[in-house]
Amino acid sequence: MLSLQNLTLRRGTRALLENVSATIHAGQRVGVVGKNGVGKSTLFAAIRRELIPESGNVDLSKNVVVAAVSQDTPPLEQAAIDYALDGDIELRELQAELAQVEQRLEAETTDDDINRLVALHERLTTIDGYAAKARAAQLLHGLGFVPNTQTNPVASFSGGWRMRLNIARALMRRCDLLLLDEPTNHLDMDAALWLQEELAVFPGTLLLVSHDREFLDAVCTHTLHLERQNATLYVGGYSQFERQRAERLTQQQIAHEKQQEKAAHLKSFIDRFKTHASKARQAQSRIKALERMELVAPVLAENEFSFRFRQPEKVPSPLIHITDGEVGYTGKALLTRLKLSLQPGERVALLGANGVGKSTLMKSLAGAQDFIGGDVIRASDLKVGYYAQHQLEQLDPEASPFLHLRRLDRRAAEQSLRDYLGRFSFHGDRQMEAIAPFSGGEKARLALALVAYQRPNLLLLDEPTNHLDLEMRHALEMAINDYAGAVVLVSHDRHLVQSVCDTLWRVADGSCAVFDGDLDDYASWLRTERRKAQRAGV
């Protein structure tokens, strides 16, 4: 299906992959993993023929159809469902030709046109073309588009929702190889769970870049790990890859240490007897053995990223108490009858589809917008750290990490601020550079550093894992678990939610209430609700 042969890829002067070889077979669903910046998206660009390799080849089997999610969506007046249907290129070509043939037949009946008409209808039947619109509607519904929005113009949707349209469009295309680069970044947990189930039964070959280990485990049959300009293919999902890699590294280190002992023994013999005529032949044979020895590389320690939220100076109880609360906008309440209380050490995850009011509730808890009704009691010592869903957009692209931090604390000593930034892996000149060219992961790391610096006793984290690789997500998990204050989290990353949260609040039907169960129960509940909606034709 797909073969990488001695492939070298560069971005500018930097080699991302060097002399990489790997083979992906038809039907395999491969998770492509690795730290930010190792070349995952660059590899996809090479597969799509958008990037010419420095050397080597990307070989695809003959007539392989490749589909990928476009990163651009023009502000079209076309209906969302028609935009999704356009993803099935053959369907649209058949429909266009069918219209032409029917138009000719209205003017004059010919045997050629009748035969072509029959052939076109047969092909439409074969590709299930008559059910294509129902399929597109089902995809859009799974991605969160309720039926009465599916005919809205593409231009009426925000950027995040347009990316969902691009995912639907890619899934509509019948392809041999599907490339998905971080598809869950623009999804809530409900839609991510739906997409997971779709991809788990995808009949073609799949290459999936993701930093969501639960998603990878549920979908993938293999894992391609990119690291230090190399690529290694493992059998199994992410958890199996972690175990296999740990075992391989352990064996590599053992082999390296044994080889070093053997090499030291050979060198010792050579040094002792190379000048002795009676031992010259044995010394020479050991020199040759040493030269022939294929060196086993040592296991190099990874510089794992870690950080801590600064512990709050005071942790009042309760932090916030709400009775009969309402959140929303002037003239429109999104959530009513809220009865919520947050205690120190509490870990809460908000569940629910996009648009039901999760982010609005977070803004109201943060004080970024007022509750529009109810009795809201905030502790006098309440100090909120709020990481908004679009937090990176609030950073100043012309300012450095140091200047961002200085604006928070004008009185702190320069060395103190520099030391703090160092704990978030900003070192040396990087602390003083404008952040405009920084990667999404670096900007997210800076945003977390700014939130942590203020010593909040209530952390509100709205989709904090977007742009974070697996290493940084693990660091965030550890930091939350080590934090003394309360946390309210919105995230599509189930592993993070499962690892840090002990209470689930479901936001739906205009209110927010405790969900009695875990995330597996929630996934089962969602499946049941979808089946009910399908039976009701909603």
pLDDT tier at 301, thresholds 50, 70, 90: very low
Return the top range by mean pLDDT from 311-315, 400-404, 468-472.
400-404
Alpha carbons within 13 angstroms on the beta-carbon side of residue 218 total 20
Percent of the chain residues past pLDDT 70, beyond the cut: 90
pLDDT tier at 280, thresholds 50, 70, 90: low
Is residue 286 pLDDT above 70, yes or no? no
What is the pLDDT at residue 300? 44
Q: What is the pLDDT of residues 218-270, one digit of tens each?
A: 999 999 999 889 999 999 999 888 888 878 777 766 766 776 776 676 677 66
What is the pLDDT at residue 287? 67
- H or E segment and range at residue 458: strand 458-462
CB distance 178 to 67 below 8 Å? yes
CB distance 196 to 218 below 8 Å? yes
More confident residue, 371 or 538: 371
Q: Report the range of poorest mean pLDDT among 151-160, 288-297, 486-495, 503-512.
A: 288-297
Is residue 207 pLDDT above 90, yes or no? yes
Q: List the Cα angle 230/232/235 in 5-degree steps.
A: 170
What is the pLDDT at residue 276? 62
More confident residue, 288 or 56: 56
- Average pLDDT estimate for 392-407: 94
Q: Which two tokens stand for residue 178?
A: 């599907």
> Can you say how many angstroms the Cα of residue 272 is from the centroid of all Cα atoms in its chain?
58
- Average pLDDT estimate for 456-481: 90
